[in-house]
């Protein structure tokens, strides 16, 4: 058995069926909760399993739940342990930068001799093991978040997209730049000047029209290149990755995008922008002059 290239001399629940049973991370629909506050990130992790022997060891104080937090950009390493499977972690914004990683386990708190488990895989059923303090009993998995992502604004297009002017005053067409933290929609200078007028930029009745045209086109182009820029860990791609993983209605909880489904996924990400565009036009038509 290996977890991150480390071999274990005993069966571990949650890895390669060496112990029969289920492990999940919660508490919301199989995923931890990440709450962004003004000065901190509040993370709630629930480690669930159905193994009676491990439950007994925890109840007797011989095992505990373990959550390790690492941020390589700030050299943060923190460990939180608990006898409760629900763990809350508070990280100040100053502690983390970019990727923050979590490892969730159940570990022993003392030496356990003659460790047996009725749900060992048949390959191990006749074996007894001596476990040292800190040995892994259950592996619940890993997850991470990017401290640069504005999780409280994920559904706002501005969280991953920005409209800017072209540098070349002679350029007549829209261009898209995907290599930066945000998707850049580069409008010809005259078009950007028109877009930037307060009557267009700040009036909420124009928002669905912008989403159904400029933004929808840009996001479609971006998703056709999503895999490439996710591998490069660009922030806009990681923002969309988080939504795809955590909003199952978008793509069944998967980041593997079928090109034939991109148009539909774009519309789901933007909340049916074409319908909102048409309804927005209807609202403008029905606006009565003062």
pLDDT, tens digit only, all 290 positions of the chain? 445 556 678 999 988 888 898 888 888 766 788 888 888 999 999 999 999 999 999 999 999 999 999 998 899 999 999 999 999 999 998 899 888 999 999 999 999 999 989 889 888 888 889 999 999 999 999 988 888 776 666 667 888 899 999 999 899 999 999 999 999 999 999 999 998 887 777 778 888 888 899 999 999 999 999 999 999 989 899 889 988 987 889 999 899 999 999 999 999 999 999 998 998 888 888 765 55
pTM over 0.75: no
Closest CA to 223 of 208, 236, 207: 236
Q: Looking at residue 240, what is its pLDDT?
A: 92
* C-alpha distances out from residue 259 to 156, 173, 220, 226, Å: 23, 25, 10, 10
Instruction: Give the integer Cα–Cα distance in Å for 187 and 173.
Output: 7
Dihedral (CA of 88, 89, 92, 97) sign: negative
pLDDT at position 29 is 67
What integer pLDDT is reported at residue 205 of this predicted model? 83
CA angle, corner 116, sides to 115 and 119, nearest 5?
145
Q: Distance between CA atoms of 126 and 112, rounded to whole angstroms? A: 17
> What residues are paired with 142 via a beta bridge?
103
Phi, then psi, of 160 in degrees rounded to 5: -135, 10
The residue ranges of DSSP E strands in the chain, in sequence order, are 2-3, 6-7, 23-26, 33-36, 40-49, 63-71, 76-82, 86-92, 99-108, 112-115, 129-131, 136-146, 161-165, 175-177, 183-187
The pLDDT score that the predictor gives to residue 39 is: 87
pLDDT of residue 3: 58
| Residue carrying structure tokens 């991953």 | 160
- Could you tell me where in the chain the CATH 2.60.40.10 domains are found? 2-147
Give me the phi and psi of 8, to 5 degrees please: -110, 140
Q: For 63, left (φ over 0), alpha (ψ -120 to 50), or beta?
A: beta
CATH topology of domain 2-147: Immunoglobulin-like (2.60.40)
Contact 62, 83 (CB under 8 A): no
* Other Cβ atoms closer than 10 A to 243: 19
What pLDDT does residue 1 have?
A: 43
Tokens for 128?
Answer: 């007894």
């Amino acid at each position: 058995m290996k977890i991150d290239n480390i071999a274990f001399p005993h069966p571990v629940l949650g890895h390669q069926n060496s112990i029969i049973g289920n492990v999940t991370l919660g508490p919301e629909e199989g995923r931890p909760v990440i709450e962004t506050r003004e000065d901190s990130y509040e993370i709630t992790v629930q480690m669930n399993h159905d193994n009676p022997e491990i439950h007994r060891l925890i109840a007797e104080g011989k095992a505990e739940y373990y959550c390790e937090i690492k941020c390589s950009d700030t050299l943060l390493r923190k460990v939180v342990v608990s006898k409760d499977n629900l763990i809350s972690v508070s990280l100040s914004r100053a502690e983390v930068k970019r990727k923050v990683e979590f490892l969730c386990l159940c570990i022993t708190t003392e030496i356990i001799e003659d460790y047996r488990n009725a749900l060992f895989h048949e390959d191990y059923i006749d074996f007894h093991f001596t476990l040292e303090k800190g040995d892994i009993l259950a592996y619940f998995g890993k997850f991470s978040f990017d401290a640069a992502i504005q999780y409280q604004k994920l559904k706002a297009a501005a969280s991953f997209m920005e409209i800017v002017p072209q540098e070349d005053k002679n350029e007549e067409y829209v261009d898209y730049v995907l290599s930066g933290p945000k998707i850049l929609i580069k409008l010809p200078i005259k078009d950007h000047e028109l877009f930037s007028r307060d009557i267009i930029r700040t009036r909420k009745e124009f928002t669905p029209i912008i989403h159904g045209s400029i933004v929808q086109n840009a996001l479609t182009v971006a998703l056709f290149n999503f895999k490439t820029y996710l591998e490069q860990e660009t922030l806009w791609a990681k923002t969309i990755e988080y939504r795809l993983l955590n909003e199952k209605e978008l793509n069944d909880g998967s980041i593997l995008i079928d090109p034939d489904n991109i148009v539909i996924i774009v519309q789901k990400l933007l909340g049916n922008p074409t319908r909102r565009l048409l309804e927005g036009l209807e609202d403008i038509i029905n606006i009565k002059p003062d």
